Amino acid sequence: MTPEALAAALLAVVSPLVEARRPGSGEALTLTDFPVERPKNRDHGDWASNAALKLSKQVGVNPREFAAEVAGALAAVDGIASVEVAGPGFINIRLDAAAAGALARTIVEAGTAFGRGRSQEGNTINLEFVSANPTGPMHIGHTRWAALGDAIARLLLASGATLVREFYINDAGAQMDRFGRSVLARMQGEPAPEDGYAGAYIDDLATRVAEAEPGIADLPEDERVAAARDKAYELQLAELQASLAKFNVHFDVFFSERTLHAEGADGGPSLVDEAVDRLRAQGHVFDADGAVWVRTTDFGDDKDRVIRRSNGEYTYFAADAAYYLNKGDRGFAHKIYLLGADHHGYVHRLKALAGAAGDDPEKDIEVLIGQLVSINGARLSKRAGNIIELDDLREWLGTDALRYSLARYPADSPLTLDPEILQKRTNDNPVFYVQYAHARTHNVARNATDSGVARDAFAPELLTHETESALLGALQEFPRLVAFAAELREPHRIARYLEELASLYHRWYDSCRVTPLGDEEVTDVHRTRLWLNDATGQVLRNGLDLLGVSAPERM
């Protein structure tokens, strides 16, 4: 019996009791009024409900008295072994073994769909993360945002959201010209400009640009920088995309900042030009001191923002405004930004921008700030010189270890990783511990096949060992936890759950055999335990996939 089925049973039992005392009230109750929870102390049962406490005032009955009524009716429901009233009116529910054990078959038959739900159905979300300048390699900061952003996307998609992963390419502005001048200087055998970019990767780009575009040297001087910049940009962006792909991070859209400033069709206004007009139409734009301003203080910002300077140049805020409006134009009602630790100032600014655009800053936009990450002993890039590259980290520690470890902690907590632990093939390494549990489920299944144990019988009432009860209880929690983690944008909850599940599985493995010993006859106990073994492997696999981590069958 799943938590949803139990909630439905509670609704069916409680609704007529409430209706009898207060006509019209019982019919208004829904499944959301009957959440059930796992008791911290398993001696108190499999599930607990506070429904009687919540509804007793509504029906005018003592909570404990009402709980006793509910318990008496609930005890008659198929699949429930016993119901007890605790404290001021909590209802503790214990399922019979068959009802609890039936979940194993449900999971195996659902396969990859187990854990997926519809809690985010109807939400159309644009999730922007990483968003790096295409002027250098991906670095350690991008690594954390890539792992977290992709895991959040996977959770939301698994919960029914319509979602696009988007990478905003910061390919406009002065840094791109400095990038172009740096590459051109190295092509010409000159040192990089004082305000330019240095490092072996610039030398490499210069060589590749010269090979791909040998005619650049013959261009007029004022055209060389643009030509070198654009080709180097193309090559560097391809490297960024390749680094992300190797890190198992997928983007649906790479959005160029340049498109915001480009002329519209037939020489019409750019998206940035249109953004100013659209915000003005909303009534939040004013002119002062020759500049154009957005009155963002109307929406909690600490000061109003200049969108166009007195010299006619647009500010970065103008591009932010055009980009935000463009996301809405593309049909995204909800926008999530995952930004780095140095972007705290953007939170109020972007929320104020949403308000100025006519959206609800509390509902239509989220700005998640990720804190810094460091790795003991990590060396600066030989190519870039002043950063720790994503590719170097991935080759050193492995994609799985990095992705799991970065997703294992809340985004807003500073993080230092220990490479010695991440490289260990022991239980001290969390990702190894979880992956080993998954590999063990496959090993058990292979041994079962060799011993003649198959899933050709299923008798869930035989799953009575205490470790089986605990394991089934944890497996039941997975769908609800996925929905909860998606709602909170917190992938670390999945990682911690997988570690607990792995621990419960290892304990069960030590206590309950799937394959018979010696000449012992194969029985339905063995066959049913194989279902439980395979169900656990499926949930471990599904959970690891939500984190973008592989689930090896052998280790």
Angle, CA of 304, 305 and 310, to the nearest 5°: 120
Element (H, E) at 288: strand 285-288
| Helices and strands per DSSP (H, E), number in the chain | 19, 13
Please state at what angle helix 51-59 crosses helix 63-74, rounded to 10 degrees: 120
Please check the confidence at residue 99 and state whether its pLDDT lies above 90. Answer: no
Give the DSSP letter of residue 218: G
Give the DSSP letter of residue 313: P
Cα–Cα dist 316/296, whole Å: 15
CB neighbours of residue 488 within 10 Å: 13
pLDDT of residue 38: 82
Please tell me which residue, 507 or 140, carries the higher pLDDT value.
Answer: 507
Q: Using DSSP, state whether 293 is helix, strand or coil.
A: strand
Please check the confidence at residue 243 and state whether its pLDDT lies above 90. Answer: yes
Q: What is the percentage of the chain residues whose pLDDT exceeds 70?
A: 100
Domains recognised in the chain with CATH numbers: 3-95 (3.30.1360.70), 174-246 (no CATH), 425-546 (1.10.730.10)
- Mean pLDDT over the full length of the chain: 93
Q: How confident is the model at residue 211 (pLDDT cuts 50, 70, 90)?
A: very high
Cα–Cα dist 278/187, whole Å: 44
**Per-residue pLDDT tens digits for 375-407:** 988 887 777 777 899 999 999 999 999 999 999
Q: What is the dihedral of CA 314, 319, 325, 328, to 10 degrees?
A: 170
Cα–Cα dist 513/526, whole Å: 7
87: number of CA atoms within 13 Å, CB side?
9
Q: Using DSSP, state whether 550 is helix, strand or coil.
A: coil
Are 492 and 410 in contact by the 8 Å Cβ rule? The answer is yes
**Per-residue pLDDT tens digits for 522-552:** 999 999 999 999 999 999 999 999 999 999 9
Range in 21-30, 175-184, 276-285, 345-354 with the lowest mean pLDDT: 21-30
**Per-residue pLDDT tens digits for 289-305:** 999 999 999 998 889 99
Please state at what angle helix 174-187 crosses helix 200-212, rounded to 10 degrees: 80
| pTM score, whole prediction | 0.90
Please check the confidence at residue 481 and state whether its pLDDT lies above 80. Answer: yes
**Per-residue pLDDT tens digits for 43-63:** 788 889 999 989 988 889 899
Residue 473, token pair as written in the block: 């209880």
Cα–Cα dist 421/418, whole Å: 6
Q: What is the 3-state secondary structure (H, E, C) of 142-190?
A: HHHHHHHHHHHHHHHHHCCCEEEEEEEECCCCHHHHHHHHHHHHHHCCC
DSSP strand E in 208-280: where?
253-256
Please tell me which residue, 170 or 371, carries the higher pLDDT value.
Answer: 170
Cα–Cα dist 533/518, whole Å: 20
pLDDT of residue 145: 92
Q: How confident is the model at residue 25 (pLDDT cuts 50, 70, 90)?
A: confident
**Per-residue pLDDT tens digits for 448-469:** 999 999 999 999 999 999 999 9
Please tell me which residue, 314 or 222, carries the higher pLDDT value.
Answer: 314
Q: Using DSSP, state whether 255 is helix, strand or coil.
A: strand
User: CB neighbours of 387 closer than 8 A, spacing ≥ 6?
Assistant: 136, 137, 139, 140, 380, 381
Cα–Cα dist 181/193, whole Å: 7
CB neighbours of residue 7 within 10 Å: 20
Averaged pLDDT for residues 497-509: 98
Q: Among residues 394, 396, 322, which one has the least CA distance to residue 142? A: 394
Residue 244, token pair as written in the block: 């992300």
Please check the confidence at residue 341 and state whether its pLDDT lies above 90. Answer: no
Angle, CA of 510, 516 and 517, to the nearest 5°: 80
pLDDT of residue 372: 82
Q: How confident is the model at residue 91 (pLDDT cuts 50, 70, 90)?
A: very high
Q: Using DSSP, state whether 317 is helix, strand or coil.
A: helix
